[in-house]
Chains A and B, each alone.
Chain A
Amino acid sequence: MSDDGSNGQLTGGRKEETTGMSSLLKGEEEATGTDSLLKRRALLRAAAWGGGVVGLGGLSGLGLSRFTRRTPQAAAAKPPLGADFTYDVSRFQTSDPALLRYEETARFASGLERARAIAVAADGTIFVGGAGGLRKFSPTGEGLLNIPLEQAVVSVALRPSGEILVGQPGKITVLDANGAGVAVWSGLPAGLLPTAMAVAGDKVYVADAGNRVVQVLDATGKPVGVIGARDPARNLKGFVVPSPYFCVRMAPDGLLRVTNPGEHQIEAFTLEGDLELAWGRGSFAVEGFCGCCNPVSFDMFPDGSFVTCEKGLPRVKLYNSTGEFTGLVAGPEAFPEYLQAANAGTPDSLGSGIYAAIDPQGRILILDSVGGSIRIMQRKPQAHD
């Protein structure tokens, strides 16, 4: 018994011992859990304190940095600039109304960005080219055709057959009367910038502002000659074309008329390339061509007189066949958007201009690339040159 009891006690003692051990283990587990929780809390609190201290340090560093920065203190000390430091051409931006020979009778939007090409067909339809492509309008301004083109159009000319020649940087595209592609003349001289084109017989004369010459092309677009290249033996000084404005037209007298904008002149050449005559002078006065390089474009009446366009001071003017100033079509005040851009000095006016074309009715169509419109100008009934 005793053994049993001992055993029993022993057993019971072992049980108690076992129970005690398990409770101890349990206690240790609990203790370990609590310890971990407390450690985590301690860690978080320490991190919060650390972060706070670092943040405080950062703020003080920021403050120190601001304190040591340079600040504009002497800004208000200088007096404003005087008139000597101000560019002022306002006296040239208005014109004498007595010089106006034309009046605006209609206006419509070109619908093109930076439109700078205009041509009128024999039936009076109007073609306008710009950054978005080419558009055709009726003589009263209704849209007839829209030909989107990827590359900007810088010039347009019409063949008697109705084909449309579209000048783009580096190439000339030939379209039929409905705007469908016929050919692309791409084998042209490197650097070609065809800012104007004139068709005469089976030749196309291209004012190439990139190379500062008139390229002569045959009916298929093959280069067959050059007019106006510098050649002292022929007394040719070459065209001075400081910016992409260079114009050519076939005159009723059978001579080519070409602008020499850097010399402020319009020059006459035979089809063989001989210089016959030139007229024009640089001046801000209304009789002359203003700025560094004008006129930017022109067109001719059947009597050989001219309508010229200038940039900088946007003016459309009339000259007789010998180059005498005869009046204004539109003065600078007629182009408020252009003047605003020019006066602000922003580059909106750079690369922009005023272009003109004469239609079969004798009306002058003015393309204003900044204002984005085409104006129809008709001669005033009482106007005298």
Chain B
Amino acid sequence: MTDESSNASGERRRPAGSVRHPAEHSAANEPPPSGQTLAAAQVTGQGLSRRDWLKGGARGVGLLGFGAAAGFLGTRESKAATRWQIDPNQCIQCGRCATACVLEVSAVKCVHSFSMCGYCKLCTGYFEPEPINLDEGAENQLCPTGALQRKFIEDPYYEYSINKDLCVGCGKCVKGCNMFGNGSLYLQVSHDRCVNCNICAIARECPAQAFRQVPVTKPYLLRGKGAAGK
């Protein structure tokens, strides 16, 4: 016995699960159902075998997984490619860097461009506007945490450096330096502390829009000799 049988009119009947070849429709002057294609026929269940179903399912799951992985890694990749940083030419030293960061002590720190510094005896970033004496007494220092430190080089020059562990990123010394000096003190996000939030809390509050994302390959916006093009 063949796997095809004939009906009373002589037409052959197909076994369940088999699919008619489209050419057979034509040969038998029997157009395929409106809009129905071979693939459609396959998925309507008229002729879907378990193996086909499993094959299709596995393919679908694979594609879904591929898409998910691409979506996840794609966004991860773009995030990892940038870091938050402060443009020192936009910064207005409003003090929000010290309070808005998600870290307990802000990741924003004062940095110093030695190539721009005048090594002044009377540094307006270091001293109160009217210091009692030009010495290291706490009452003369501008920085409320004592993070800016002073070292004698030769008369009348002094070198100033920042103790990052003490700096809270308030920008008080930066303001003093910008207003009267060369602007060699400025604020930067310290990447050894920053957790690189997707939306930086300080950037969200920065009134000067000084925060921007920079390439991870160039994560600092420096002044002086380290600056771009210098």
Is the Cβ of A79 less than 8 Å from the Cβ of B39?
Answer: no
Is the Cβ of A61 less than 8 Å from the Cβ of B68?
Answer: yes
Q: Is A357 engaged at the interface, CB distance under 8 Å to the other chain?
A: no
Q: Is A181 engaged at the interface, CB distance under 8 Å to the other chain?
A: no
Per the bound structure, the CA–CA distance linking A30 and B196 in Å amounts to 64
CB-based nearest B residue for A88: B129
Per the bound structure, the CA–CA distance linking A122 and B98 in Å amounts to 56
Is the Cβ of A27 less than 8 Å from the Cβ of B63?
Answer: no
Q: Is A233 engaged at the interface, CB distance under 8 Å to the other chain?
A: no
Given A38-B37, A345-B175, check contact A61 B98 (CB 8 Å): no
Is the Cβ of B118 less than 8 Å from the Cβ of A89?
Answer: no
Q: How far is the CB of A28 from chain B (nearest CB, A)?
A: 7
Q: Is A59 engaged at the interface, CB distance under 8 Å to the other chain?
A: yes
CB-based nearest A residue for B35: A41
Given A38-B37, A292-B123, A311-B180, check contact A345 B92 (CB 8 Å): yes
Q: Is B132 engaged at the interface, CB distance under 8 Å to the other chain?
A: no
Q: Kindly name the residue among B98, B122, B156 whose own CB sees the greatest number of chain A CB atoms within 10 A.
A: B122
Given A42-B38, A284-B130, check contact A81 B72 (CB 8 Å): no
Given A61-B69, A72-B204, A345-B91, check contact A85 B172 (CB 8 Å): yes
In the bound complex, residues from chain A placing their C-beta under 8 Å from that of B121 are 240, 262
Per the bound structure, the CA–CA distance linking A148 and B69 in Å amounts to 61
Of B2-10, B21-29, B47-55, the stretch lying at the interface with chain A is B21-29
Is the Cβ of A345 less than 8 Å from the Cβ of B71?
Answer: no
Main secondary structure of the interface of A (DSSP, over half): helix
Per the bound structure, the CA–CA distance linking A29 and B182 in Å amounts to 85
Is the Cβ of B179 less than 8 Å from the Cβ of A59?
Answer: no
In the bound complex, residues from chain A placing their C-beta under 8 Å from that of B201 are 72, 74-75
Q: Is B216 engaged at the interface, CB distance under 8 Å to the other chain?
A: no
Per the bound structure, the CA–CA distance linking A198 and B28 in Å amounts to 111
Q: Is B152 engaged at the interface, CB distance under 8 Å to the other chain?
A: no
Q: Is B86 engaged at the interface, CB distance under 8 Å to the other chain?
A: no
Inter-chain contact total with CB atoms closer than 8 Å:
216
Please encode chain B, from 77 to 101, with 1 for each CB lying within 8 Å of some chain A CB and 0 for all others.
Answer: 0010000000011111101001111
Q: Is A361 engaged at the interface, CB distance under 8 Å to the other chain?
A: no
Given A38-B38, A58-B70, A283-B130, check contact A65 B64 (CB 8 Å): no
Per the bound structure, the CA–CA distance linking A135 and B37 in Å amounts to 83
Residue from the list B37, B98, B155 in contact with A42, Cβ < 8 A? B37
In the bound complex, residues from chain B placing their C-beta under 8 Å from that of A282 are 122
In the bound complex, residues from chain A placing their C-beta under 8 Å from that of B40 are 42, 45
Q: Is B114 engaged at the interface, CB distance under 8 Å to the other chain?
A: no
Q: Kindly name the residue among A41, A65, A87, A290 whose own CB sees the greatest number of chain B CB atoms within 10 A.
A: A87
Q: Is A190 engaged at the interface, CB distance under 8 Å to the other chain?
A: no
Is the Cβ of A27 less than 8 Å from the Cβ of B71?
Answer: no
Which residues on B are within 8 Å of A, measured CB to CB? 22-23, 25-27, 32, 37-40, 60, 63-76, 79, 88-93, 95, 98-102, 117-124, 129-130, 142, 144, 155-157, 168, 170-176, 178-183, 195-201, 204-205
Q: List 21 A-B contacts (CB under 8 A).
A: A31-B26, A34-B22, A53-B63, A55-B67, A56-B64, A58-B71, A61-B68, A62-B71, A64-B68, A65-B75, A78-B100, A85-B95, A87-B172, A237-B155, A243-B118, A291-B181, A293-B120, A293-B181, A311-B180, A312-B179, A344-B92
Given A70-B197, A75-B205, 10 new contacts (CB under 8 A): A58-B68, A61-B67, A61-B75, A65-B72, A78-B99, A85-B172, A87-B176, A291-B124, A292-B120, A311-B180
What are the 8 A-B residue pairs with the smallest beta carbon separation, nearest first? A242-B118, A57-B67, A61-B71, A291-B180, A72-B201, A31-B23, A61-B72, A58-B71
